[in-house]
Copies of this chain bind each other. A is one copy, B any other.
Amino acid sequence: MGLCTSRPPASPQTDGSAQRSTEQRLFDLPDVVQSLAAARRDWRAAQQRSNEPGGRELPSREALAGVLHDVRGVLFPMRLGPPDLRQESEDFYVGHTLGAALHALHAQVRLELGYGARLQTGASSDLDAQAVRIVREFSTALAGIRRLLDSDVLAAFDGDPAARSVDEVLLCYPGIQAMIHHRIAHQLYRSGAPLLARIVAELAHAQTGIDIHPGASIGAGFFIDHGTGVVIGETTVIGQRVRIYQAVTLGAKHFPVDREGNPIKGQPRHPVLEDDVVIYAGATVLGRITVGRSASIGGNVWLTHDVAPGTSITQATLRQETQPS
């Protein structure tokens, strides 16, 4: 910068003077600001992000939380909508709220698409049309999502003797909250908004302790009891009327890698659970194995191989299997 005899503009310490008491400068704000700016510069240099856009062009967790709040009300107006809603204005509420939610979602989808395009320095020609398509698909899918969630609510009601009514299930059960988020996230994931889908999934994870990757494919009538600590991986496939308990992991054993040792994405690597499977608390099911129809996996079981339909696996059976004869 060479010789600089002038006062640095707009920097707070410049209009101060020597006798300023230390009380006024409790903390060296400008120094700290400078050191933080240096850290950002280094990061951006390392990430080769010198050509950042002018503004923050990333989706917002808060904005998506607002969309979710509205869509929950749209799906279940008389139970999760505003307390003073009356049935006579149900459709008005649904239409108005949905209109606002879809436009807000559209803005977030557009942000994700733009972000994705910048990452790939790819063509961003028709991002607007793409965003409209994604939100249209989302809106069209909503009634189907509602019907699936109705099946989940009934499954919880039927599966838990402590449940007194379907409404109690919808209002209280964390597993249902997780599934409302998942079915929405899964739709976004399939339509091409995986970052939004992930944020929706993490909103549920934070509230319920249930961590379902938006890519997981889950059939009707799915019930998660208690739920804390459940992890369901991206390529998991779950049939109809499946039931799992807290701390169950449906995970990958290892990632398939290519010749350079880089993980290959999108390969099926999580379990397949066929219809009517039950998995008890704390069980760990790893790899692209198949648990056959109506099989049950006992608590704390560590499972890495296929299970035939109708079989019941427990710690004991496992130990027997692994015992030297």
Contact = CB atoms under 8 A, between A and B. Distances in A.
A96 B89 contact: yes
Given A10-B12, A32-B140, A36-B75, 4 more contacts: A29-B98, A32-B142, A36-B143, A226-B231
A299 B282 contact: no
A41 B15 contact: yes
B226 A211 contact: yes
Interface string A73-103: 0110111011111111111111111111011
Contacts of A31: 9-10
A205 to B, nearest CB: 6
B299 A302 contact: yes
A86 B102 CA distance: 11
Given A92-B96, A174-B202, A56 B83 contact: yes
B99 A92 contact: yes
A199 interface: yes
Interface of A: 1-15, 17, 21, 23-43, 47, 50, 52-56, 58-63, 74-75, 77-79, 81-100, 102-104, 106, 115, 119, 132, 135-136, 139-140, 142-143, 146-147, 150, 161-162, 164-168, 171-174, 194-195, 198-199, 202, 205-209, 211, 213, 226, 228-229, 231, 234, 246-247, 249, 251, 255, 263-265, 281-282, 284, 286, 299-300, 302, 315-316, 319, 322
A38 B143 contact: yes
A5 B3 contact: yes
A86 B41 CA distance: 15
A99 to B, nearest CB: 3
Contacts of A93: 92, 96, 99
B166 A47 contact: yes
A251 B89 contact: no
Contacts of A208: 206
How often does this chain occur in the complex, in copies?
A: 6
Chain A binding site: helix, strand, loop or mixed by DSSP? helix
A92 B52 CA distance: 18
Given A9-B11, A135-B26, A302-B300, A59 B171 contact: yes
Given A140-B32, A142-B32, A102 B26 contact: yes
A302 B26 CA distance: 49
Contacts of A264: 161
A98 B97 CA distance: 14
A34 B12 contact: no
A86 B202 contact: no
B5 A34 contact: no
B6 A37 contact: no
Contacts of A38: 143
A7 B228 CA distance: 46
A202 B234 CA distance: 27
B284 A302 contact: no
